[in-house]
Amino acid sequence: MKWILLAGAILSEVTASLSLKAALDNPAFFVVVVIGYTASFGLLAGVLRKGLGLGAAYGIWAALGVTLTVWLAAIIFGEAVTPMMLIGVAMVIGGVLCVELGSHEEPAQEPAHAMARS
């Protein structure tokens, strides 16, 4: 269920972001912007309640949000997708993978001097 909520949060955020661009020409889209961002943060909170870690949830939300927004803005609004942008998107996704994979490693031991103070 947490992955369905996360997908909903991502799609809501991307919809809101794209609507923000559309609202420049048609202010009625600001309603979609407000609803989309409100839904996105509400769904993201639901993901956290379901137990997905904040670093992983926010990272996946942000990385997929950026990736979808770049591609959909190119398709819908004719915005350019440059090689540098593709490198940036790949780096964002790579960073999120590092955070997610790192979250499954054993936690570091507390330094001995910190334990002595306890």
Beta-carbon contacts of 4 under 8 Å, excluding residues fewer than 6 positions away, are: none
Tell me what the mean pLDDT of segment 78-97 comes to.
92
Q: Report the predicted TM-score, pTM, of the whole model to 2 decimal places.
A: 0.79
Exposure string of 71-110, with b = 16+ CB inside 10 Å and e = fewer, is: ebbeeeeeeeeeeeeeeebeebbeebeebbeeeeeeeeee
Indicate whether 117 pLDDT > 80: no
Asked if residue 7 lies in contact with residue 1, where contact means CB atoms within 8 angstroms, the answer is no
* Least-confidence region, from 57-61, 78-82, 97-101, 102-106: 102-106
The per-residue pLDDT for range 1-60, each reduced to its tens digit, is 999 999 999 999 999 999 999 999 999 999 999 999 999 999 999 999 999 888 888 888
Asked if residue 98 lies in contact with residue 62, where contact means CB atoms within 8 angstroms, the answer is no
Q: Residue 113 is encoded by which pair of tokens?
A: 């001097």
